[in-house]
Structure 1
């Protein structure tokens, strides 16, 4: 928390210097409730080896993430880092990615639910868009749909008599297909 305060004080001081204004760093530090000695020690602190390694790994993570067009998550980035000889866990990579504000793109896989075939040679259009037949049971129309349930997909087929515009009783089936 104090590091954030020190960083803000440092930014404000630099901005004031650039604008040609004088600012009391001691006054700011006293107002914010942090010590002057702590601030000056922070200003002259040299990053530790751990901190240097952390920043180096974060740069590598960013490079791998950008090269993958922002698709790779922590597992794949960990594999890529290990290929370069880096010893790091997937959890650490995930933590660094969260700190950096990056995450993998996820898209739902697209599944083909129907199979289209070329019926042009097998079927002929004998109805010719005449949807008002003169007698019952001369023209039927059907449709099929699927409904997702807890047990799997339920395929529902209905057949309609175009003369009466009613669903034919007893001409329905349900087909169960359980998920794999």
Structure 2
């Protein structure tokens, strides 16, 4: 392997950790063996570090001297940044701290693009050398040198992802998530490991009807008839309301779903269920997406959606109103399914002291759902990925 290939294999952070261990007094040969790398490369890194030329540092330049007060300010800034990272890492990894060392390594691997590895190792009370040894590629592995993870290592990754995603994934999505994170593994192996160790997705709770349809307001016809697969974005939207308990009282959420990509394109969180709740969610979606006239908005027969104010807003944007049959949740199944996922992931089992806490949790989940959550109806892509691929295909066919 030539020098260019070797340099491309190791990150700057890996090099710095290897050099740190040598400078701490360990023999270079022992460090190289621990980290699974050539001793000659480590010797070169130590030499480059002494010259201030380790990759990522200014070549041929050592750190310039600074005034004592500047050095103190820099030290304090670094300390504040470190404390901030330790606090955030501690919050996100609280469940992993109770697990074994392999689960901690897997969590570090999953979060390595967000925080420095050495800092996460310190917070999770494991050695960086142990992590690098655990994550070192197995030489001579099958499939063209690709590493085959042991069942224990793979199980640690599964537990870390399960904890990170609050138990939302069953084995099919877990398999896809592992592939997306660069861990090549068969789906049957994932299913077997999860079943053997009792790792499963959280169950959904029984559907509760919250729609107030006991009114005399005009009701729109059902233009959808359970056809929930439009051929393009901004053709068919659906909307609904759900509620979240807090110590301050109920927090109500209205959302607008684009049924082409199942993306949440508008939402509103308020302490009441008045018409402005659903109107604000609709306006958010309209201002963000600028749909052409003729879009269908499908909802239940709740008084908020039937109100004159809401219907006037639909008309102003050239949107046609469609409503499900009375008391039939299956006529708006995609949005009801969204509520099930939301409440399973971040509401059930949680206690929110304030509406603001609940609001933040919901907004964080919506961002995760839109950008990252794998959707079985979309070929295990996230809503954003699905829509981006569709748009790219349209541009390609038009070229």
Normalised by the length of structure 2, the TM-score is 0.16
> In terms of Rg, which structure is larger?
1
Greater fraction of residues in helix: 2
